[in-house]
Amino acid sequence: MRLHLLMNFGTVTAKSEGETTITVKTGNSKIAECRVIVKKENDFYITSELYEIDNISKFIKFVPIDTTYSEFRDNIIANVEFDIVDKNGKQIDSGVIKTGYKLVSRENGEDYLISVMFDANGDGIFNLVDITRMRLHYVENPKYLLDEIHATSLDVNKDGVFNLVDCAKMVQTYLLM
Ligand SMILES: [Ca+2]
Ligand SMILES: [Ca+2]
């Protein structure tokens, strides 16, 4: 594929997808080569000021418990139209957001899994069940190990890891409810 490039004082602007090698020759005959690969930008792009968007895992993290469907939509900026679906793929248009819900692009079906803080079992509420699931996950009970998206909901201090600090915060929050 032919690659069109515009060079302007060190800035290279790609005009199409493809790859090429740029060779630069200096006045004293030094040669430098640079291989450039241009890929089309992901055509599904979302961002949020409130939630963390993990574009590698395709997770939307740290959604507060009790976030409603409309609040959630209001806090997502996307470049395409999207739907929210439950874990069975059923479209959602009301109620609270639950761990395991997905945001799905209407353009290409690409999706992001949603993790709601404190909601370890994916029912959208925080209660003793979540505390129990947290404890079983913490002691690594093989029967009750949570998958990645549900385990992410246990990181309630939002530092990227699940440990005793999160356990303490969950229990404390539960006791204060
Ligand atoms: Ca729950
Ligand atoms: Ca944590």
Tokens 């005009």 — which residue?
15
Centre of ligand 1 to C-alpha 134, Å, is 10
Ligand nearest to the CA of 126: 1
For 59-110, write each residue's pLDDT tens digit. Answer: 999 999 999 999 999 999 999 999 999 999 999 999 999 999 999 999 999 9
Task: Give residue 32's pLDDT band: very low, low, confident or very high (50, 70, 90).
Answer: confident
Task: Give residue 8's pLDDT band: very low, low, confident or very high (50, 70, 90).
Answer: low
Q: Kindly tell me if the per-residue pLDDT of 4 is higher than 80.
A: no
Q: Kindly tell me if the per-residue pLDDT of 116 is higher than 60.
A: yes
- Residue 92 one-letter amino acid: I
Decide if 148 contacts 165 (C-beta within 8 A): no
Tokens 């009750």 — which residue?
144
Tokens 């992410």 — which residue?
152
Centre of ligand 1 to C-alpha 128, Å, is 8
Q: Which two tokens stand for residue 143?
A: 């029967």
Centre of ligand 2 to C-alpha 169, Å, is 9
Q: Kindly tell me if the per-residue pLDDT of 7 is higher than 90.
A: no
Ligand nearest to the CA of 121: 1
Decide if 37 contacts 49 (C-beta within 8 A): no
Centre of ligand 1 to C-alpha 130, Å, is 5
Which CATH superfamily is 44-177 part of?
A: Dockerin domain (1.10.1330.10)
- Residue 74 one-letter amino acid: D
Ligand nearest to the CA of 130: 1
> Which of 149, 144, 145 minimizes the C-alpha distance to 115?
149
- Which pLDDT value is given to residue 34? 77
DSSP state of 143: G
Q: Kindly tell me if the per-residue pLDDT of 13 is higher than 90.
A: no
- Which pLDDT value is given to residue 43? 72
The ranges of the chain annotated as CATH 1.10.1330.10 are 44-177
Ligand nearest to the CA of 97: 1
Centre of ligand 2 to C-alpha 156, Å, is 6
What integer is the mean pLDDT of 22-51? 79
- Which pLDDT value is given to residue 23? 80
Global pTM reads: 0.77
Locate the DSSP E strands across 106-146.
Answer: 111-116
- Which pLDDT value is given to residue 40? 61
